[in-house]
């Protein structure tokens, strides 16, 4: 079974600082995709960043970057220069072949002024 684990239910960070959210997954597949989604309070869930397992290079999107360790099955999200608007639930997700996306339990991030 494919599982996604987010071991940090809640985290907080001071504005302008850097924070890292952890995600591990379990799969026997060799080719798959990993995602981080952001769900602001009472707002639409949106894609933050995506990583293809066969690519060695870590994905980056502006202030968001990932540390993808395929052997360790780890996929952490780093948010640099945190902003108040980054306050949200963050979900790690996994998909392989054409199967459904599996989500972790989420990490609630609060950015403090």
Partner 1 sequence: EADIYQTPRYLVIGTGKKITLECSQTMGHDKMYWYQQDPGMELHLIHYSYGVNSTEKGDLSSESTVSRIRTEHFPLTLESARPSHTSQYLCASSTRDLAGNTIYFGEGSWLTVV
Residues 6+ apart with CB under 8 A from 74: 22, 23, 24, 67, 68
The whole-angstrom separation of Cα 92 and Cα 102 is 8
By CB under 8 A, the count of residues binding partner 1 is 25
Of 39, 54, 50, nearest to 77 by C-alpha is: 50
Least distance CB 85 / partner 1 (angstroms): 15
The answer to whether 92 and 7 have CB atoms below 8 angstroms apart is no
Which of 43, 56, 57, 85 lies at the binding interface for partner 1 (CB under 8 A)? 43
Which of 66, 104, 109, 111 lies at the binding interface for partner 1 (CB under 8 A)? 104
Least distance CB 59 / partner 1 (angstroms): 12
What is the contact surface with partner 1 in residues (CB under 8 A)?
32-33, 35, 37, 43-47, 50, 52, 89, 91, 95-101, 103-106, 108
């Amino acid at each position: 079974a494919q599982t996604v684990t987010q071991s940090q239910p809640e985290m907080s960070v001071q504005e302008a600082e850097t924070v890292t959210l952890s995600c591990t997954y379990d799969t026997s597949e060799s080719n798959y995709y990993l995602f981080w989604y952001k769900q602001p309070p009472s707002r639409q869930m949106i894609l933050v960043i995506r990583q293809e397992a066969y690519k060695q290079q870590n994905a980056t999107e502006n202030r968001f970057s990932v540390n993808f360790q395929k052997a360790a099955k780890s996929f952490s999200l780093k948010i640099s220069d945190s902003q108040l608007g980054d306050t949200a639930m963050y979900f790690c997700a996994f998909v392989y072949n054409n199967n459904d996306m599996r989500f972790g339990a989420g990490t609630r991030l609060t950015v403090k002024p």
